[in-house]
C-alpha cells in the first residue's frame, strides 16, 4: 500500500490551470528552485571544481540512475543517466546491431516517435552496411518480427494515441525469433508500471521530463540487461564511460555495468533538479498509480464523449491497452486546442488532427478532469475555435 494520490502539495501548479500535458513536460516540483539555488550558489559558487567530489557531482548520474531503476523494475547499477533520449536510442541500437552481426533488419513501427526512427536512419547511413528499417503499422508489429530481424525497437506507449504495446508478449516474440529488444519508455516511465527485469528486454531508454517532472531538457536514461552489459563495446565511448576517466589513458576501457553507457561530462544542474523531482515518487505504489490513471482517463473519456459529439476517440477504448493519456481526433484540432488552452486547460496538439491529454495521478484528481471536460465542451459547443486568433500556427510545440 503506497502513499495516497494525488500529492498536489508537492507541486506548484499555476492557479486556474488544469494541466493535462504532463506527458509532454511535467509540472514544477516544489523543491526544484531551492535545489537549483543550492547547486548553483553553494556547490558551484563556493566549492567550485571541488564540488565534483564534495557535493557528490561525480556520483550523481549513477545515484539518479539507481532511483530510476527502482521505478522501472530494474536492478541497481543497470540504468545510466545523461544525454538526450535520441542519443540513448542510438547507443542502444548500435550495441544491439553488434549482437546480431548476421542480420540486417531493424524493426520498428510507423507510430514510433519520429526521432527514434530518425536516429535509426542516421545510424544506418553511417554504418553503410545494407541495414534496413522496417516500419509496419503498430498492430502488425508482432507478426512482422521474423527471423531476419536483428533488433526490434519500439516505444511502448504511442505518443499520439496512448496505445500500448504488450511489452512482455512482444519481447518474447522478439526473443523467439532471435532478435534483440529495445523499449523506448518515454511515455511509460512514471505513467504505467514497468518491470524491466521481468520483461527480459536487452535495452530500454527513456526521458525524465514528462511524467517524472525533471524539467525542460532533463537528462535521459538507458537500461542494459545486466547479463549482457559486460560484452558491450559502446559506440559512443566517452570518457565518463571509461573505467578510470581521470587516469587519462590513451585507450578506451569500458566502465563496469551500464556506467559504460555514460558519455561526456554530466549536466549537473539538470540532474540535481531531476533528483529533487524524483522525491515525489517516494512511497508511490505503481499499481495504485495505474489504478488512479485509469480512473482519471475513463472519467475523462466518459465526460468528453457525453459532452462533445464532435470529437472522436483516437485512443484505445480498453484502458488496459492505453498508457496514461487520451487523444481525440478533430479536424480543427489545432485551433480547438489553442482555444482550450486559452481557457486554462492545457493539453497539446499532434499533427495531423490529434488533441492530446495526459493524466498524471501525482497532481490530478477527478474534479480536475470534470472541470477540464466542461471547458472542452464549452469550446466545442460554441465553436470557440473558429476565432481567427486560434488559426495561426505560431506554436512550435
State which residue, 54 or 146, has the beta carbon closest to a second copy.
54
Decide if 98 is catalytic.
Answer: no
Q: Which secondary structure element, helix H or strand E, spans residue 97, and what is its range?
A: helix 85-99
Distance of alpha carbon 160 from alpha carbon 137, whole angstroms: 14
Least spacing, CB of residue 284 vs a second copy, in Å: 22
DSSP 3-state helix, strand, coil percentages of the chain (rounded to 5)?
45, 15, 40
Least spacing, CB of residue 73 vs a second copy, in Å: 25
Distance of alpha carbon 335 from alpha carbon 393, whole angstroms: 8
The residue assigned the cell 536512419 is 121
State which residue, 216 or 318, has the beta carbon closest to a second copy.
216
State which residue, 14 or 283, has the beta carbon closest to a second copy.
14
Considering only residues 198-237, where is the footprint of a second copy by CB under 8 A?
A: 207, 209, 215-220, 233-237
User: Which residue in 19, 90, 113, 211 is the catalytic one?
Assistant: 113
Decide if 8 is catalytic.
Answer: no
Query: Which of 142, 269, 299, 329: binder of a second copy (CB under 8 A)?
Result: 269
Q: Verify binding: residue 294, a second copy, rule CB under 8 A.
A: no
Q: Verify binding: residue 378, a second copy, rule CB under 8 A.
A: no
Q: Verify binding: residue 371, a second copy, rule CB under 8 A.
A: no
Q: Are 181 and 202 in contact (CB under 8 A)?
A: yes
Q: Verify binding: residue 278, a second copy, rule CB under 8 A.
A: no
Decide if 109 is catalytic.
Answer: no
User: Which residue in 356, 359, 368, 390 is the catalytic one?
Assistant: 356
Decide if 210 is catalytic.
Answer: yes
Considering only residues 75-94, where is the footprint of a second copy by CB under 8 A?
A: 82-87, 90, 94
Count other C-beta atoms under 10 Å from residue 244's C-beta: 10
Provide the β-strand partners of residue 81.
Answer: 221
Q: What does residue 101 show for φ and ψ, rounded to 5 degrees?
A: -60, -20
User: Which residue in 83, 109, 158, 184 is the catalytic one?
Assistant: 184
Q: How many residues does the chain have?
A: 397
Distance of alpha carbon 277 from alpha carbon 259, whole angstroms: 22
DSSP one-letter string for 216-239:
TT---EEEE-HHHHTT---SS--G
Distance of alpha carbon 147 from alpha carbon 159, whole angstroms: 28
Among the listed ranges 63-71, 242-250, 301-309, 371-379, the one in contact with a second copy (CB under 8 A) is 242-250
Least spacing, CB of residue 102 vs a second copy, in Å: 14
Least spacing, CB of residue 321 vs a second copy, in Å: 22
Count other C-beta atoms under 10 Å from residue 49's C-beta: 9
User: Which residue in 35, 88, 163, 210 is the catalytic one?
Assistant: 210
Binding-site size for a second copy (CB under 8 A) equals 97
Q: What does residue 127 show for φ and ψ, rounded to 5 degrees?
A: -70, -40
Q: Which secondary structure element, helix H or strand E, spans residue 199, and what is its range?
A: helix 196-199
Let me know if 92 is exposed, middle or buried by CB neighbors in 10 A (0-12, 13-18, 19+): buried
Q: Verify binding: residue 333, a second copy, rule CB under 8 A.
A: no
Q: Verify binding: residue 49, a second copy, rule CB under 8 A.
A: yes
Annotate each residue in 131-170 with x if it binds a second copy (CB under 8 A) or - if it does not, as one string: ----x------------------------x----------
Decide if 307 is catalytic.
Answer: no
Among the listed ranges 65-73, 107-115, 149-157, 287-295, the one in contact with a second copy (CB under 8 A) is 107-115
Least spacing, CB of residue 386 vs a second copy, in Å: 22
List, by residue number, the catalytic residues.
Answer: 113, 184, 209-210, 356
Amino acid at each position: 500500500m503506497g502513499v495516497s494520490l494525488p500529492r498536489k502539495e508537492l507541486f506548484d501548479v499555476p492557479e486556474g490551470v488544469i494541466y493535462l500535458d504532463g506527458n509532454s513536460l511535467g509540472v514544477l516540483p516544489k523543491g526544484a528552485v531551492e535545489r537549483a539555488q543550492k547547486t548553483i550558489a553553494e556547490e558551484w559558487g563556493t566549492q567550485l571544481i571541488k564540488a565534483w567530489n564534495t557535493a557528490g557531482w561525480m556520483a550523481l548520474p549513477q545515484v539518479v540512475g539507481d532511483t530510476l531503476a527502482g521505478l522501472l523494475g530494474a536492478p541497481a547499477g543497470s540504468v545510466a543517466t545523461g544525454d538526450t533520449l535520441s542519443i540513448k536510442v542510438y547507443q542502444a541500437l548500435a550495441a544491439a546491431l553488434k549482437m546480431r552481426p548476421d542480420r540486417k533488419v531493424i524493426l520498428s513501427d510507423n507510430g514510433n516517435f519520429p526521432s527514434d526512427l530518425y536516429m535509426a536512419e542516421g545510424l544506418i547511413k553511417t554504418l553503410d552496411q545494407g541495414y534496413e528499417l522496417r516500419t509496419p503499422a503498430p498492430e502488425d508489429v508482432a507478426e512482422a518480427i521474423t527471423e531476419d530481424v536483428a533488433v526490434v525497437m519500439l516505444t511502448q506507449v504511442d505518443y499520439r494515441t496512448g496505445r500500448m504495446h504488450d511489452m512482455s508478449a512482444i519481447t518474447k516474440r522478439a526473443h523467439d525469433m532471435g532478435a534483440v529488444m529495445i523499449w523506448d519508455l518515454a511515455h511509460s516511465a512514471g505513467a504505467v508500471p514497468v518491470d524491466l527485469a521481468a520483461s527480459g528486454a536487452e535495452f530500454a531508454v527513456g526521458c525524465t521530463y514528462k511524467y517524472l517532472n525533471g524539467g525542460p531538457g532533463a537528462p535521459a536514461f538507458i537500461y542494459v540487461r545486466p547479463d549482457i552489459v559486460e560484452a558491450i563495446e559502446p559506440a559512443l565511448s566517452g570518457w565518463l564511460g571509461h573505467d578510470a576517466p581521470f587516469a587519462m589513458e590513451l585507450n578506451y576501457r569500458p566502465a563496469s555495468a551500464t556506467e559504460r553507457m555514460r558519455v561526456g561530462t554530466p549536466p549537473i544542474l539538470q540532474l540535481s533538479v531531476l533528483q529533487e523531482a524524483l522525491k515525489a515518487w517516494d512511497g508511490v505504489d505503481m499499481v495504485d498509480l495505474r489504478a488512479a490513471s485509469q480512473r482519471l482517463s475513463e472519467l475523462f473519456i466518459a465526460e468528453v464523449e457525453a459532452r462533445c459529439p464532435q470529437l472522436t476517440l483516437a485512443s484505445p477504448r480498453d484502458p488496459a491497452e492505453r498508457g496514461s493519456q487520451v487523444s481525440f481526433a478533430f479536424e480543427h484540432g489545432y485551433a480547438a486546442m489553442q482555444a482550450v488552452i486559452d481557457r486554462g486547460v492545457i493539453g497539446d496538439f499532434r499533427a495531423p488532427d490529434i488533441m492530446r491529454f495526459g493524466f498524471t495521478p501525482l497532481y490530478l484528481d477527478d474534479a480536475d478532469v470534470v472541470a477540464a471536460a466542461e471547458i472542452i465542451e464549452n469550446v466545442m459547443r460554441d465553436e470557440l475555435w473558429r476565432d481567427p486568433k486560434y488559426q495561426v500556427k505560431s506554436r512550435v510545440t
